[in-house]
Chains A and B, each alone.
Chain A
Amino acid sequence: MSGAQPGKQVVPLAEALARLSALEQANKLAEADDLANRMLAAMPEHPHILHLAGIIAYRNGRVAQAVERMEKSATLAPGVALYPRNMCEVYRGAGRLDDALRAGRRAVELAPQDARAYFNLALIHYERLELDEAVRVADQAIVLEPDFAEAHFEKAEALLLGGRMKEGWESYEWRFKLKQAEGMLPKTDKPQWDGRPLAPGKLLIVGDQGFGDCIQFGRLIPWAALLCPQPVLACSGELTAILRQISGIGKIVTRWEDTGDFEAYIPLSGLPRLAGITTQNVPPAGYLAPDPALVESWGARLDRLVPKGKRRVALVWAGRPTHKNDRKRTMRLEQFAPLFARDDLAILTVQKGEQIAQVGGYYGRAPLLNLGPEIVDFADTMAILQYVERLVTIDTSVAHIAGAIGVPTALVLPHAPDWRWLLGREDTPWYPSVRLFRQERAYDWRGVIERVSESI
C-alpha cells in the first residue's frame, strides 16, 4: 500500500472494528484489550472504538475506565441506540442505578423496536426493586420478540420476587430455553410431566439447577412420589448423600444413561408450579438431617479445636464465582469485621473453594477456625452446623442446607435478592429457622453485618 511505513501493516477501520468485536465475543480479553488500546491511540475520538474499548475494559474488571470511555462515545454519537443500551448494563455493574435507568430509557427511546433494549431496562428496574415496571418492560420486549427467553425469565423473577407466584411459575418455565441451561435436561423425546399419576419408577426428576435450588425444591419430591411412586432422581454426585434422605425416591442416578425407562421427566424446579406452591403452602423444612456418626465425630473434633466458653458462629462469605449473580452476593471475609471484634464468639468458617485462602489474612479478636479444608461434602457441613449457635451466610447452598435441617441462620442478602427471598420481610416461608438481613441500599453492605452481630 502506498504511503505505508515499511513493516507497518495498515488495516481498514471496519476490518479492525470487526476484529475487535470478534475478540471480545470470543473472550480473548487480553488480546482485545491490546488491540483496543492501539486503536484508541490512533483514533482517540472514534465513538465506536471508544464504545468497544469500554466494553472490553468492563469485561476486564476496569469499570471506571469502561464508564469513562462509553460516556465519551455516547457524547460523540448521541443518536446511536447501542451505546446507551450497553451503558445501561455497565452502569449497573458500577452500582450507578440512576445512570443505568437513564441510559436504559434513552436506549428504548432511540430504538423502540429493540427488544434487548427493553430487556436491559427491565433488569435495571429489578435491581431498583421497581417490580411492576420490570414486568411491564419485560413484556414490551416479549411483544417485540415472543421467544426472547431471557426476557421471559426476567419477568418470572420479578413476578416471583413480588410474591406473584402463580404467574411467576409459568414464566419460570422459560429457564430451559436460556443459553446457560443447555445440557441441564436429558435429551429425550419423552414429555415433561404434567402432574398426572404414573406407574412406579416411571417419573424422572432432574436436579436441574444449583445445589441450593435442589435442596430447596427437594421437599416437593414426596408430593411427586404420591402421584408417581418411586421416581428416579438424576442429580450431581455431590448431592446424592443428602437427597437420599428424602422419602419416596425410587433410585438416584448421576448419569443420564442410568435413568432407565421413564415415561415423563420433570425438573426439580418445575415441581412448585405443578404443586401450586405459593407463599402460603410451602411444605415445611426439616426434611433433611445430618448423619449421626458424623455428628458425633465432628462434635469431638470441634470440642478439641474450638476454644471453650465461646459462642460458636459458622460463616460462609463467598459463593461459586460462576453464578450469574455472584458479584452481588459474594462478600470479602473482612466485611464481617463486626463479628470478628467480639471476644465472646468463635468463628467456624464452613466456606469451601478458593476463597478459603482469605482466612490467611484474618487477624480479628474472635478465634477463627478455617474448617473448609477438612470438609469433604455437605454431609460434613450439616454435622458441623449442629454445633453452632448461628450460621451467618450469604445466599448460597449452605443457607439452604441450614434451613432444611433447621439451624438458626442469618442470611445476608443484596438489595435486589434472588426471587426466593421475596421482599420486605425478615423471615422466609421456605425455612423458618432463617432470618433475612437485607442491604438497605443497592450494592452497599454497610450496616448489614452490624445488624447481624446485634442479633447474636
Chain B
Amino acid sequence: MNTGMQQELDVVLCHCGSGLRRVRCCDADITAWPGAEAVDALDAQGQEAVRLFNEKKYAEAETLALKLLDLAPNLRPALRVLYEIRKAQKRGTAEEALAVRLAALPGAPAVRTAANLLLAQFYVGQGRYAQARPPAAEAVMAAPRDATAQHVLGVVLTETGALQAGEGHYRRALDALGRDDGVVLANLAWNLKLQGRLDEAAAIYDNALALRPDNRRGQGGYAQVEFARGNREKALRLLDDGLGRWPDDRTLRLLRAMADLALGDAAAVLARLSDAPEALMAAELCTRGQALARLGQPVEAVQHYSTAKRLQRERHGQQYQAEEFAAKAAACKAYFTAERLQPLPRAAAAPARQPVFLLGFARSGSSLLEQLLGQVPGFVAGDEFFPVAELNELVPALAGAAHGYPQALDHSLVGDGWALPARLRERYEDARERLGLARPGVQFVTDRSASNHWQLGLIKLLFPDAPVVHVLRHPLDVMLSNFGQDRRLEGNCGVSMSALARHYALVMSLIRHFRGQLALRYLPVRYEDLVNDTAASLRRVVEFAGADPGGVPPEAVLRANGAMPPGPVPAHFAGREAVHTRGVYRYRAYQSQMPGLFAEVRGILDPWIAELGYAEAGP
C-alpha cells in the first residue's frame, strides 16, 4: 500500500563485517534475490571487479563488488572478489559468511566444487572438521574426479574419526592424480597410523618424504609412527634430523621433548623447552609440567598446568560445553529406561568374536587394561577403531524412521524392524573386521571408545551378553592426571579442574543410570589393583569375560608391558611403559604441598569418592 510516506533505506551494515548492508548479507531474504537472468545482466560488471582484483586494485575492486552485491547479493564474481579481500584482511566472520554463501550458489559442477572446497578448507583451517564435512562432501559429489576435493574430504573424515572412509578418499585422490603425491601420501600414512596399521604407514611415509622432503608435519608423523612401532632410535633420528633442518619448528621440538619424557629424561625436557613459561604454548607447558612433576617439583608442575589451561581458555577460546552435555545426558537418561528397553529386540545370535567394552574416564587406566589384555591369548586390542557411536546416525536411516537417534530405535518394534539390532551389529563387526581385528584365534576384541559411556543402551541391544569392564581410579588422581594433559576431551572439559570434575560427575552418573536400567554384564576394576597386583586383576577380568584365566602371562611379563600386537596397533601403545605404581594416590603428595588444589572440586567429587569406596583411602 502506498502511504505517501517515503520509507527509509535500511543502511545498517551487516554484523559479520562483510561491508554489505545487513539486508543484503546475513539478514537477506534469499527468496527476494534476483533471478538468474537479472544476475547475468550484471555479469560483465562482475568480471570487471575480478579484473580489478587481479590487477591488485583492491580498493576499486572492493567498491565495485559492494555496489554490485547491493544490487544482486548472489552475483558470484563479486561475491568471490569480496570473499578474497576479506580473507586477506583476516576478517574471519565475514570470510565465513561469504564462503557459506558462495558454496550455496547454483552453478556448474566445477564452480560449485571450488566454492565448497573454499568453505571446507576454511573450516579445516580453523579445526572445525565436523562443519567441514558437508561442503567437502558436496565438492566430491560435484566433481568425483577432483583430486583436491577427494583429498580434503579425506582430511575431514580422518580428523572426525571416520578413518576407513577417510582412507578411501585419500586413495581416490591419488587415483585422480594418477601419480604419487607427497602431501596426500603423508596424510594417508597418518590416517593409517590412526588405524593402527603402523607398518603400512611407515612404508608410505618413507615414500611421501622422499617425494616431499620439506614436509615438516610428515616428518613428525613418521617419527610418531616409528616411536609407536618401537623403533625409538629411528624416531629420534627423524626428529633430530627435522630439528636440524627446521630448528624453530615447535611441533617437532615438542615431539622431541615428549620422546625425552617417554624415555625418562625429564631434565632433557626442561632443557629443550627452556623458554620463559609465558612464551610456551599449552602443550609445551603441559609437557614441561610433567617433566617437573617427574623431577619432584609438583608445585611448579601445577603452575605450568594452570597456565596451560588458562591459555586454552583465554587464547584459544575453549570453554567447557556444560549445558550441551547436560542436555545430552538428560535426553539419554530419559530415553534409555528399563521399561522402554525391555521390549526392544536384541541381536540374538552369538557374535563371532565377543567384544569387551571398556569404560573409564580419561586417565583412569583403560589404556593400560587394554594393553595388558592384548597380551592374553585370544584377546586383541580394538581401541577406538570403530566406535558404536558411529552407528547412531545410521539408526534412523536403517529403521526408516523420521525421528533421530535414539527415538528411532522404537521402530525396531514395528514390522521388520526387529532385525535392526542385527543389521547394526553387522556394520560394526564388518568395520572392525576390515581393520584386521578378526584374526584367526581371536575370540575377544576390546572396544575402548571414549564415547562408550553414551552407548551402553545400544550396546545392550547389539551385544546383549557383552562384558563391560569399567576401570575406576581415585577421582582426585583422575583430576590431577587430566589437569596435566593438553588433550582434547569430550565437551572441552579439560580446560579447568572444575570442568573436569563436572564432566566426571556427568559421565559417572550416566553410567550409573545405565547400570540401574539395564542388565549389563558389568565389572568394575580399580586402577590401583591393576598396577599393584597386575596378574590377579587381569585374571579376574579375563575370567569375567569368559576366557581361560590360565592364559594370563606371569606378573613379571605383564609388568614389563612390552608386547606389540601383530595387527592394528592402538595409538596408546606408543606411550606404553612398564606397569608402575607411582600414580597411585599421587594426589596426596600434591594436596599436602598445595592444600587448596582440589578445594573447588571437592563438593562435586567427594560423593563420588565415597560411592566408589575410596573414602577409606583417606583425605
19 contacts between A and B (CB under 8 A): A307-B543, A308-B546, A343-B540, A356-B517, A357-B513, A357-B516, A359-B516, A360-B512, A360-B515, A361-B611, A367-B521, A367-B523, A367-B544, A369-B522, A370-B516, A370-B518, A371-B519, A373-B338, A373-B518
Residue-wise, chain B 510-543 has the 8 Å CB interface mask toward A (1 for contact) of 0111111111111110000000000000001001
Query: What is the chain B residue whose CB lies nearest that of A372?
Result: B338
Collect the chain A residues with CB atoms within 8 Å of residue B522's CB.
367-369
Answer yes or no: B613 CB below 8 A from chain A CBs. yes
Do A363 and B519 touch across chains, with their CB atoms under 8 A apart?
Answer: no
Given A308-B546, A367-B523: A359 touches B338 (CB 8 Å cut-off): no
Measured between C-beta atoms, what is the minimum distance from B218 to chain A in Å?
A: 46
Residue-wise, chain A 340-367 has the 8 Å CB interface mask toward B (1 for contact) of 0001000000000000111111111001
Measured between C-beta atoms, what is the minimum distance from A332 to chain B in Å?
A: 12
Answer yes or no: B342 CB below 8 A from chain A CBs. yes
Interface size class of A (residues with CB under 8 A): 20 to 34
CA of A308 to CA of B548, assembled, Å: 10
Collect the chain B residues with CB atoms within 8 Å of residue A362's CB.
515
Query: What is the chain B residue whose CB lies nearest that of A358?
Result: B516
Measured between C-beta atoms, what is the minimum distance from B465 to chain A in Å?
A: 4
Do A373 and B521 touch across chains, with their CB atoms under 8 A apart?
Answer: no
Answer yes or no: A15 CB below 8 A from chain B CBs. no
Collect the chain B residues with CB atoms within 8 Å of residue A370's CB.
515-516, 518-520
CA of A356 to CA of B512, assembled, Å: 11
Collect the chain B residues with CB atoms within 8 Å of residue A307's CB.
523, 543-544, 546
Do A309 and B515 touch across chains, with their CB atoms under 8 A apart?
Answer: no
Do B519 and A374 touch across chains, with their CB atoms under 8 A apart?
Answer: yes
Answer yes or no: B612 CB below 8 A from chain A CBs. yes
Query: What is the chain A residue whose CB lies nearest that of B529?
Result: A365
Given A307-B544, A307-B546, A367-B544: A360 touches B612 (CB 8 Å cut-off): no
Do B515 and A305 touch across chains, with their CB atoms under 8 A apart?
Answer: no
Query: What is the chain A residue whose CB lies nearest that of B341?
Result: A373
Measured between C-beta atoms, what is the minimum distance from B366 to chain A in Å?
A: 16
Measured between C-beta atoms, what is the minimum distance from A333 to chain B in Å?
A: 10
Query: What is the chain B residue whose CB lies nearest that of A374?
Result: B519
Collect the chain B residues with CB atoms within 8 Å of residue A179's CB.
none
Given A307-B543, A307-B546, A357-B517: A363 touches B338 (CB 8 Å cut-off): no
Known: A304-B350, A307-B523, A357-B513. 10 other contacts (CB 8 A): A305-B521, A307-B544, A308-B543, A309-B543, A343-B540, A356-B338, A360-B513, A360-B515, A363-B472, A370-B520
B465 in complex: contacting residue of A304, A359, A361, CB < 8 Å: A304
Do A374 and B342 touch across chains, with their CB atoms under 8 A apart?
Answer: yes
Measured between C-beta atoms, what is the minimum distance from B334 to chain A in Å?
A: 14
What is A's interface to B at a CB cutoff of 8 Å?
301, 304-305, 307-309, 343, 356-364, 367-374, 376
Residue-wise, chain B 329-343 has the 8 Å CB interface mask toward A (1 for contact) of 000000000100110
B521 in complex: contacting residue of A361, A364, A369, CB < 8 Å: A369
CA of A160 to CA of B169, assembled, Å: 80
Collect the chain B residues with CB atoms within 8 Å of residue A371's CB.
519
A363 in complex: contacting residue of B465, B514, B612, CB < 8 Å: B612
Measured between C-beta atoms, what is the minimum distance from B517 to chain A in Å?
A: 6
Collect the chain A residues with CB atoms within 8 Å of residue B513's CB.
357, 360
Collect the chain A residues with CB atoms within 8 Å of residue B512's CB.
357, 360-361
Collect the chain A residues with CB atoms within 8 Å of residue B521's CB.
305, 367, 369
CA of A372 to CA of B522, assembled, Å: 14
CA of A358 to CA of B342, assembled, Å: 18
Residue-wise, chain B 588-619 has the 8 Å CB interface mask toward A (1 for contact) of 00000000000000000000000111000000
What is B's interface to A at a CB cutoff of 8 Å?
338, 341-342, 350, 465, 472, 511-524, 540, 543-544, 546, 611-613
Measured between C-beta atoms, what is the minimum distance from A456 to chain B in Å?
A: 20
Do A363 and B611 touch across chains, with their CB atoms under 8 A apart?
Answer: yes
Given A363-B524, A368-B522: A373 touches B517 (CB 8 Å cut-off): yes
Query: What is the chain A residue whose CB lies nearest that of B467?
Result: A307
Collect the chain B residues with CB atoms within 8 Å of residue A363's CB.
472, 524, 611-613
CA of A157 to CA of B187, assembled, Å: 80
CA of A374 to CA of B517, assembled, Å: 9
CA of A374 to CA of B350, assembled, Å: 18
Measured between C-beta atoms, what is the minimum distance from A158 to chain B in Å?
A: 39
Measured between C-beta atoms, what is the minimum distance from A206 to chain B in Å?
A: 30
Do B516 and A360 touch across chains, with their CB atoms under 8 A apart?
Answer: yes
CA of A374 to CA of B511, assembled, Å: 18
Measured between C-beta atoms, what is the minimum distance from A7 to chain B in Å?
A: 39
Query: What is the chain A residue whose CB lies nearest that of B523?
Result: A367
Given A304-B465, A359-B515, A363-B612: A373 touches B342 (CB 8 Å cut-off): yes
CA of A358 to CA of B540, assembled, Å: 24
CA of A309 to CA of B549, assembled, Å: 11
Q: Give the most central of A308, A369, A370: most B CB within 10 Å.
A: A370
Given A369-B521, A373-B338: A356 touches B516 (CB 8 Å cut-off): yes
Do B511 and A360 touch across chains, with their CB atoms under 8 A apart?
Answer: yes
Q: Give the most central of B518, B519, B523: most A CB within 10 Å.
A: B519
Do A373 and B519 touch across chains, with their CB atoms under 8 A apart?
Answer: yes
CA of A343 to CA of B544, assembled, Å: 11
Query: What is the chain B residue whose CB lies nearest that of A334?
Result: B611
Collect the chain B residues with CB atoms within 8 Å of residue A304's CB.
350, 465
Given A305-B465, A370-B520, A371-B519: A360 touches B544 (CB 8 Å cut-off): no
Query: What is the chain A residue whose CB lies nearest that of B548?
Result: A308
Collect the chain B residues with CB atoms within 8 Å of residue A358's CB.
516
Q: Which 10 A-B pairs have the closest CB atoms?
A: A360-B512, A357-B516, A373-B338, A360-B516, A304-B465, A360-B515, A374-B519, A363-B524, A307-B544, A359-B516
CA of A376 to CA of B342, assembled, Å: 9
Query: What is the chain A residue whose CB lies nearest that of B612?
Result: A363
Collect the chain A residues with CB atoms within 8 Å of residue B515's CB.
359-360, 362, 370
Q: Give the most central of B350, B513, B518: most A CB within 10 Å.
A: B518
Do B544 and A369 touch across chains, with their CB atoms under 8 A apart?
Answer: no
Query: What is the chain A residue whose CB lies nearest that of B526?
Result: A363
Query: What is the chain B residue whose CB lies nearest that of A306?
Result: B521
Query: What is the chain A residue whose CB lies nearest that of B543?
Result: A307
Collect the chain B residues with CB atoms within 8 Å of residue A308's CB.
543, 546
Collect the chain A residues with CB atoms within 8 Å of residue B611's CB.
361, 363
Q: Give the most central of B350, B515, B543, B612: most A CB within 10 Å.
A: B515
CA of A362 to CA of B611, assembled, Å: 8
Collect the chain A residues with CB atoms within 8 Å of residue B523's CB.
307, 367
Query: What is the chain B residue whose CB lies nearest that of A340?
Result: B613
Q: Give the most central of A360, A367, A369: most B CB within 10 Å.
A: A360
Collect the chain B residues with CB atoms within 8 Å of residue A373's CB.
338, 341-342, 517-519
Measured between C-beta atoms, what is the minimum distance from B287 to chain A in Å?
A: 34
Measured between C-beta atoms, what is the minimum distance from A379 to chain B in Å?
A: 15
Query: What is the chain B residue whose CB lies nearest that of A366?
Result: B523
